[in-house]
Amino acid sequence: MLLEKTHLVKSEIKSDIMNIACVIPTIREKSLAEFVKAWKPLIKKHHIDLIIIRDGDNPILSHNDIKMNVKDVMGQFSHLIYNKSDCVRNLGFAYIAKYLPDINYILTLDDDVLPIGDPIEAHLTALKQAKPINWLSTIIDEYPRGFPYGIREEAEVVLSHGIWRGVADWDAPTQLVKGNHPVKFYKGPIPKGIYYPMCGMNIMFKRKMLPYMYYAPMGHRVGMDRFADIWLGIISKRIADKKGWAVMTGYAEVLHKRASNVWANLKKEAIGLELNEDFWQGIETHPYFKVYNKTRKQWEKLIINYDLR
């Protein structure tokens, strides 16, 4: 892409009303077509900027009539984008930070999920709240006797972690043993100092989180996959705790249609399963984490610089 066109993109792109952008990574045109058809009424209702990342050897970002490749968006920082993995959606986040200054809320969804009710409104409801993070209520959306009044609106919610019905999100060993069956989800804030398995197929977050929302490098360049969102969940929760922000889960629901291949998943997860047992405890002896920490720190600085322009 020519430099003149890049400048034109930045000056001409405007967001609408609620200032929401939605990033969708895909490798399946059929799934994408079904996704767009199912979500179209909600995209129109909430005036959402739809950003599609077509993954592959050379990922292409599409937004309205604009198409850009990794180098167009990232320039000398193209190495921060890992392809052939769900973490390719980072390209969409960088595009928002660089070219869409009016976007306040970022939604990201997988291409094989369908709406249940209005998940977008549910995400917004969660993100417009302030919640306690040092106490856990035993009642959903209410506070029983003894819950201190002074902390009932303790922390601003910055990330809404949505849930899914239909095909469960198991790791490969669990998928082999349990197959698929209905599950129940917790609804409420994740307490301070507590981690959770963040599934990245249905989340919305505020713009202030963009510097910290870097899906962990995965795919063929790494030799493992399926932990991009899980490890982002660990890092983003640490950031939220440090800044006194809240993370909510359980408000927005989608229907997950597609069961991934358990044997392919087992190969992809082989290394990460072991590393995941220790990473949340701060153990980062594997060489992978040297790369991960370097790239996410570069990402943070880059996104902050974009927003300061």
Query: In the predicted model, is pLDDT for residue 8 greater than 60?
Result: no
Q: Where are the beta strands (DSSP E) in 167-245?
A: 188-189, 202-206
What pLDDT, in 10s, does the model give residues 181-192? Answer: 888 999 999 999
pLDDT higher than threshold 70 for residue 163: yes
256's enclosing H/E stretch is: strand 246-256
What letters, b where the CB count within 10 A reaches 16 and e where it falls short, cover 74-92? beebeebbbbbbbbbbbbb
Q: How far apart are CA 269 and CA 171, in angstroms?
A: 8
Express each pLDDT in 248-275 by its tens digit: 999 999 999 877 899 999 999 999 999 9
Q: Which of 295, 307, 262 is nearest to 98 (CA)?
A: 307
Reported confidence tier of residue 309, pLDDT bands at 50, 70, 90? low
Q: pLDDT tens-digit profile of 82-119?
A: 999 999 999 999 999 999 999 999 999 999 999 999 99
In this predicted structure, what is the pLDDT of residue 6? 42
pLDDT at 12: 40
Q: Is the pLDDT confidence value at 10 over 70?
A: no
Q: Name the band, by pLDDT with cuts 50, 70 and 90, for residue 18.
A: low
Q: Region 6-25: what's the mean pLDDT?
A: 62
pLDDT one-digit tens code per residue, 118-154: 999 999 999 999 999 999 999 999 999 999 999 999 9
Bridge partners, residue 183, by sequence: none
Instruction: Note the pLDDT tens digit of each residue in 109-122.
Output: 999 999 999 999 99
Ranges of beta strands (E only) in 10-48 are 20-26
Residue 187 has which token pair?
């609804």
Beta bridge partners of 105: 20, 206
Q: How confident is the model at residue 198 (pLDDT cuts 50, 70, 90)?
A: very high
CB of 288 within 8 A of CB of 275?
Answer: yes
List, as one string, the DSSP characters of 54-98.
E-SSS-EEEETTEEEEHHHHHGGGGGG---SSGGGGHHHHHHHHH
Quote the tokens at residue 62. 């599409």
Domains of the chain, residue spans: 3-307
pLDDT digits (tens, 9 = 90+) for 53-80: 999 999 999 999 999 999 999 999 999 9
Task: State what percent of residues in the chain have pLDDT above 70.
Answer: 93
Between CA 250 and CA 163 the distance in angstroms is 6
* Amino acid code (one letter) for 145: R
Task: Select 3-307's CATH number: 3.90.550, 3.20.170, 1.10.3470, 2.60.40.
Answer: 3.90.550
pLDDT at 178: 86
Mean pLDDT of the chain: 93
Residues recorded for the chain: 309
Tell me, what's the pLDDT at 308?
A: 67
pTM, whole model, 2 decimals?
Answer: 0.93
CA dist 76 → 51, 122, 309 (Å): 22, 38, 17
Does residue 15 register a pLDDT over 80?
no
Nearest C-alpha neighbor of 133 from the set 270, 241, 227: 241
Judge contact between 216 and 228, C-beta under 8 A: yes
